[in-house]
Chains A and B, each alone.
Chain A
């Protein structure tokens, strides 16, 4: 039996810029409930005349952070909700939220590894919740993150990811830059393809549990390549956003 999800008023207790285009918002929730990493919350905005709109945002924080949660939101310049969150919402404001939502694109240490996370752009957000949970649990199961961004400035959580990788021999992070690699960069500098994925997944082989989140074109390319490598499809979980690009 699933719990009924009720709207509740979350209070903004922190706002943190992550990149030029993304900010993380911390909400204190009166009826906080532990989520599973990978799940999202719905946000509802109401205008004075009763007009309402809703959006879904991935949870970035781990369930170990009791009583509050972080949502990381990318600014869509011509959007309706993200510009409000980025430019209007202030500390102390209240916002209607409900969740946690989604029961398939979820991972916790009980599911186990080896864990391969593949993120494009802000698709790294739900993957970060998984990595923060893994770290909070002091799990030693092997994990790798392959993170695709346009430029170095677009990488969300870069310092934290590098810190996690430095402090944990079982976790490695790989970056690829599709538009402009940083000066002196010797790593990947192209869209994720089968060859890149083959290199990153190599130590895990067909045992890898893979979570892919990002724009549709990236998710399609990655999921198709994994199927070609004969990874069992039940080990491949995807979350997509954005248009087809067609």
Chain B
């Protein structure tokens, strides 16, 4: 339905340069809200590893120390959570998914990725939306180690999709053949999650 005007509602307008960066239905925040379905995992760094497996020729695993030696980039990106907040110009340090994929040979059948995390969280992303600079595994936010509540020691960041796709506490990427739903995608949230198309919930 469309066209119901809210009597007496004018809204809080932002300057056009900000307004143009807010996807439909979103509002601007300056703090950094936290949303998680369960307890925050606290994996010690000496027990942390990152793995790429599934439909790849041979899986690869990095320890924390090895992961730190991978080439990093700084990113300044806008992020949008399906719970309606958008935060502009967030600053991260991380390893591009392109860099990680240099270490494996992906089976041509492996066109989709299931990101998986400590605590059992999963989320699905098409491979085509993780490559060419579109996604990275971050371990610093604002020049400081990424806090556990925000997904530290490392989280996936896929800024062009709703932030639930940016899996906190990430431990690996699994290549799969079909686009299978992850955790939230199985619980009524959209399989893809593009904020500019307002793909919030299943069927949007």
Contact = CB atoms under 8 A, between A and B. Distances in A.
Interface of A: 2-9, 42, 44-48, 51-56, 80, 84, 88, 93-96, 101-105, 216, 220, 223-224, 226-227, 233-234, 236-244, 246
A49 to B, nearest CB: 9
A216 B1 contact: no
B7 A93 contact: yes
Contacts of A9: 1, 4
Nearest to B186: A103
Nearest to B148: A220
B40 A53 contact: no
Contact of A233 (B9, B38, B202): B38
A117 to B, nearest CB: 15
A135 B42 CA distance: 37
B188 A102 contact: yes
B27 interface: yes
B27 A80 contact: yes
Given A223-B40, A242-B33, A243-B34, 20 more contacts: A2-B203, A3-B203, A4-B204, A9-B4, A46-B6, A54-B26, A55-B84, A84-B8, A88-B8, A88-B9, A96-B1, A104-B37, A216-B33, A226-B39, A227-B39, A233-B120, A234-B38, A237-B37, A240-B34, A246-B147
Nearest to B198: A54
Contacts of B188: 2, 101-103
Secondary structure of the B contact surface, majority rule: loop
13 contacts: A2-B203, A5-B204, A47-B5, A51-B13, A52-B25, A88-B8, A93-B7, A220-B40, A220-B149, A224-B40, A224-B42, A234-B120, A240-B33
Contacts of A45: 6, 9, 11
Contacts of A84: 6, 8-9
Interface of B: 1, 3-13, 24-27, 31-40, 42, 83-84, 119-120, 147, 149-150, 183-184, 186-188, 200-204
Q: Is the interface of A mostly helix, strand, loop or mixed?
A: mixed
B36 to A, nearest CB: 6
B38 A80 contact: no
A80 B39 contact: no
A4 B202 contact: yes
